[in-house]
Amino acid sequence: MPSTDLLNEAGRIMTICNACRYCEGFCAVYPAMELRRTFSEQDLKYLANLCHNCRGCYYACQYAPPHEFAVNIPKTFSELRLELYPNFTWPGFLAGMFRRNGLLVAMITTLSVAVVVLLAFIFRGPAVVFATHIGENAFYKVVPYLFMVIPFSALALYILATLLIGGARFWRDTGGKLGELVDPHANARAIWDALRLKYLDGGGHGCNYPDDRFSMIRRWFHHLVFYGFMLCLAATTLAAIYDHLLLRGAPYPFYSWPVMLGTVGGLALLVGTGGLLYLKWQMDTVPATARVFGMDVGFLLLLFLTSLTGLLLLILRGTPAMGTLLTVHLGVVGGLFITMPYGKFVHAVYRYLALIRNAIEQSREKT
């Protein structure tokens, strides 16, 4: 459970903001806040995840530090989200992974790479790993087909289960009802808001990120990461169809749909994560919490390495470097899969659910 002091601080700030309302044009939090006179624990959990951390309110606020009111919504809500994530985690004994998350992500990914590389050397041998393999099923000469399919399919199902359970716990703890969760109009509105990253536009001028100037750069980099990830997912899905239904083993030609989608997606991920990492190092640290820095950087670096090793594998797949790159890439992807339900990725689930709730509330307000 989040600390009483943190909840009290979030409630104090929301009460001040509700009386002022100067920042109501910046994001979704303020219209949602204005529907309330008091703020319950459920309300604060919901509002903290509805916040997209655009920071417009912080730089516009006349009561921000060093004022005695010390209104700092981005930092307070970031700290609250960080304390909430373990509460929604399944299984519960892994909730501790949110502490020192950046270090754990680095350790797990390194171990994952080491295990895959070691197994390839043990069961295939250096002669096979360092050899040149060309043509259909070339990848499976280095890493057996079942070793690729079974572990990653099991991990994908596990990730889906953990995210669904975590989302259900979030929905319950923020006072949501099951019927509302499946409301088609609310979901359509939430999807549209998410696809546009509507609440990273700061009311049309962009975020105040990495400093107090308005800019759309963070929003553009987020778009590259999101759509790059989705294109890579689409490429992987198509590759599975090629393999299992069309009986065509990887690797595929450069002009094939899996390769073209994966290439565009990988490049978008590379640029998007690289840009966000650069902005992260340049950002103003006052409206931020230091505890979340490692989690953010760890996740971005992991996505960056996933796209980088995938693109290198594509470029050098007809050379003796293919075996090494394949095992390293699979190890990095394994690290991404293992840590996905216990790091920064979960914010996408809770923020989407908060957007559904926001759509429902705003629709009721209009009627």
Each residue of 87-139: pLDDT tens digit?
999 999 999 999 999 999 999 999 999 999 999 999 999 999 999 999 888 99
Mean per-residue pLDDT for 286-315? Answer: 95
SS3 14: helix
Q: How confident is the model at residue 249 (pLDDT cuts 50, 70, 90)?
A: confident
Task: Find the helix or strand (DSSP H, E) in which 353 lies.
Answer: helix 346-366
Query: What angle is formed at CA 337 by the lines to CA 336 and CA 343, rounded to 5 degrees?
Result: 65
Token readout for 182 is 């499946």
Structure confidence by residue, pLDDT tens digits, 55-83: 999 999 999 999 999 999 999 999 999 99
Structure tokens at 104: 């754990």
Instruction: Round to whole Å and give the CA distance between 85 and 342.
Output: 8
Residues 23/60, Cβ–Cβ less than 8 Å: yes
Name 226's Cβ contacts closer than 8 Å, sequence gap at least 6: 197, 272
CA dihedral 184, 187, 193, 195 (to 10 degrees): -100
Determine the Cα–Cα distance for residues 133 and 324; give it in Å rounded to an integer: 12
User: Which residues, listed in sequence order, are joined to residue 215 by a DSSP beta bridge?
Assistant: 207
The H or E element spanning position 208 is strand 207-208
Distance (Å, rounded) from C-alpha 231 to C-alpha 238? Answer: 10
pLDDT beyond 80 at 25? no
In whole angstroms, what is the distance from residue 347 CA to residue 309 CA?
25
Residue 204 pLDDT more than 80? no
Cα dist from 239 to 137, 159, 165, 309, whole Å: 12, 20, 29, 18
- The conformation of residue 67, written as its DSSP 8-state character, comes to S
Instruction: Give residue 3's pLDDT.
Output: 86
pLDDT band for position 24 (50/70/90)? confident
R_g of the chain computed on alpha carbons: 22
Token code pair at residue 322: 């293919």
Rounded Cα distance between 226 and 265, Å, is 9
pLDDT-based confidence at residue 28 (cuts at 50, 70, 90): confident
Average pLDDT over residues 153-174: 96
Confidence of residue 319 (pLDDT cuts 50, 70, 90): very high
Query: How many Å apart are CA 180 and CA 199, to the nearest integer?
Result: 22
**More confident position, 230 or 3:** 230
Question: Residue 367 above 80 pLDDT?
Answer: no
Beta-bridge mates of residue 207: 215
Confidence of residue 192 (pLDDT cuts 50, 70, 90): very high
Q: Which long-range contacts (CB under 8 A, 24 or more apart) does 185-193 make?
A: 185/359, 185/363, 186/356, 186/357, 186/359, 186/360, 186/363, 187/356, 187/359, 189/355, 189/359, 189/363, 190/352, 190/355, 190/356, 190/358, 190/359, 193/28, 193/355, 193/359
Selection from 17, 4, 6, 11 nearest residue 289 by Cα: 6
Mean pLDDT, the chain, whole residue set:
94
What percentage of the chain exceeds 90 in pLDDT? Answer: 85
Question: Hey, how many other C-beta atoms are within 10 angstroms of the C-beta on 338?
Answer: 19
List, in sequence order, every residue forming a beta bridge with 214; answer none if it has no partner: 208
What is the reported pTM?
Answer: 0.94
Q: What is the 3-state secondary structure (H, E, C) of 298-325?
A: HHHHHHHHHHHHHHHHHHCCCCCCHHHH
Can you say how many angstroms the Cα of residue 206 is from the centroid of all Cα atoms in its chain? 20
pLDDT (mean) for 294-300? 96
Q: How many angstroms separate the CA atoms of 29 and 50, rounded?
A: 6
Mean pLDDT of 305-332: 96
First vs last Cα of the chain: how many Å apart?
35
Q: d(Cα 276, Cα 13) in Å, to the nearest integer?
A: 28
